[in-house]
Structure 1
């Protein structure tokens, strides 16, 4: 299992920036290993993220277990609140 976290290092949307910070803080504090993929610097990664989401206009942050789409911030936050984060990240 490789947890992949797609994010954007360049965003003018404060909400997106806060969502990304929350995901990173929680994953790090719970010692989950994950691969960060910055779609702002890699157009191919952005296209792959959107293809795997099946959404041509999908925006970060998004989480995947290998190539299995897990969800975005709302799904992640729901799993944190429900204390089911580990199960959520395993897909």
Structure 2
């Protein structure tokens, strides 16, 4: 399985952009490979993100490992604080 981070390159709040930036920064610093999927570029990618999260109104950033939903930014941040990032990401 491969790690997927669904994000948006357009719109959204400054808070959303900061959350996305922090996820990418932490994954990069830990050398955890991931695929960044920009839902602003494709309606199909947005639908896939919402299908995987099980929430028809889900907003980015959202993290999945293959077809397995890991969580949103809040869950990611909690996993980082608890030093359980590998467990959260299902690695």
**TM class by smaller structure:** over 0.9
RMSD over equivalenced CA pairs, Å: 1.0
Consecutive unaligned residues of structure 1, counting only runs of 5 or more, are none
Give the CA deviation at 1:12. Answer: 3.7
Give 2:57's aligned residue: 57
Please list every run of at least 4 consecutive aligned residues from structure 1 whose deviation after the TM superposition is greater than 2 angstroms.
none
Give 1:28's aligned residue: 28
Consecutive unaligned residues of structure 2, counting only runs of 5 or more, are none
Give the CA deviation at 1:11. Answer: 2.3
Give 1:85's aligned residue: 85
The alignment's TM-score, normalised by the length of structure 1, stands at 0.96
Deviations 1:52-71 (A, max 9, x none): 11111110000001010010
Give 1:45's aligned residue: 45
Q: Does the 8 Å CA contact 1:52/1:69 hold for their aligned counterparts?
A: yes
Give 1:69's aligned residue: 69
